[in-house]
Chain A
Amino acid sequence: MMETLLDGGITISAVVGVLIKIAMLLLFLLSLIMLKQTSMMTKVVSFPVGGNVKVLVWGFCVLMLLLTVIVVIV
């Protein structure tokens, strides 16, 4: 069978699942870096709509946290 590796002990789904969990954690980490960077950018150049951009990035971070929790738990 194609989906089993090492005589049935590990499946491709299990390996890919672990890789996805690691990737989600990394993406969450990147979203935190992006949040920090956006704060720095709004300090360097302050636009009236800069607050909205910050809200967008905060929203993405929260969404990433939720998705990461879902994927890691599943």
Chain B
Amino acid sequence: MPEIYSATNNEPMIPLVTELEKKGFFRSFMGSVMITPNKTRFESQDDDEKIVLVGRRHFITNIGWIAIVCFGFFVPFFWGEFPFVKVLNDTTNFSLTLLWYAALLFFVIQNFILWFFNVYIVTTERLVDVDFFGLLYKNINVTHIGNVEDINYSQRGLFASIFNMGDVIAQTASEQRTDDKAERSSFTFGMISNPDLVVKIISQLMEIEDEKEHEK
């Protein structure tokens, strides 16, 4: 009987990823870069598609809202000095304090969630950029690795150099832009950690894709 289909292990071997996997680097789910994360899936993932890399903004980019929260935590300790708050009775003062801390907690959770789920995903076949703006708006860009024409990264400023973070920009033929006008491409992974590593991995995937095209 002729063989119609045989399952083969046709997953491309990416040298850098294999090396990092062996060393056990970038395995934390709370980290800014995760290499071949286990039990991680995304909405439009194909069955034979393997996630190579998942990343998000560098943790240090959260420092702004963390500083606001630290300051905000102590505000009720001294707001009794303001004349407007001084005239409030105890019950209203208590309610105001509860409201303040509830709002602060909401602010913390919202910012954390937005940081945690705003990810970029590199698979063996595609690049996926998941952007959530606020609580009610999402923007998901997907492109095939073969459509990526150019990949580069930039590091600007003191913080970027100290914490090794930067913007990775994948150029495709598409003219479409995201709603974030500051982005130069739909596939701009902003302020991510280890941009050099991400560019290397995507470049190696592009080479594998090119080889596949030539074989055809």
Contact = CB atoms under 8 A, between A and B. Distances in A.
Contacts of B18: none
Interface in A26-74: 27, 30-31, 33-34, 37-38, 40-49, 53, 56-57, 60, 63-64, 67, 70-71, 74
B30 to A, nearest CB: 7
Given A12-B88, A34-B110, A46-B42, A41 B117 contact: yes
Contacts of A21: 95
A16 interface: yes
B113 interface: yes
B45 to A, nearest CB: 9
Contacts of A13: 87-89, 91-92
Interface residues of A, number: 38
Nearest to B109: A60
Contacts of A63: 102, 105
B136 interface: yes
A27 B99 CA distance: 9
A30 to B, nearest CB: 6
What range describes how many residues of B lie at the interface?
A: 35 or more
Contacts of A31: 106
B13 interface: no
A20 interface: yes
Among A31, A44, A71, max chain B CB count under 10 A is at A44
A17 B40 contact: no
A17 B102 contact: no
A34 B84 CA distance: 32
Nearest to A14: B92
Nearest to A45: B42
Contacts of A71: 95, 98-99
22 contacts: A12-B84, A13-B89, A17-B91, A17-B92, A24-B99, A24-B102, A33-B135, A34-B110, A44-B42, A44-B138, A45-B43, A45-B54, A45-B121, A46-B40, A46-B41, A46-B42, A47-B40, A48-B40, A53-B113, A60-B106, A67-B98, A74-B91
Interface of A: 2-3, 11-13, 16-17, 20-21, 23-24, 27, 30-31, 33-34, 37-38, 40-49, 53, 56-57, 60, 63-64, 67, 70-71, 74
* 7 nearest A-B residue pairs (beta carbon): A3-B87, A41-B117, A13-B92, A13-B89, A48-B39, A20-B95, A46-B41
Given A34-B110, A44-B138, 20 more contacts: A2-B83, A12-B87, A13-B88, A16-B88, A16-B96, A17-B92, A17-B95, A24-B98, A24-B99, A33-B135, A34-B109, A37-B132, A37-B136, A42-B117, A45-B54, A45-B119, A45-B121, A49-B29, A70-B98, A71-B99
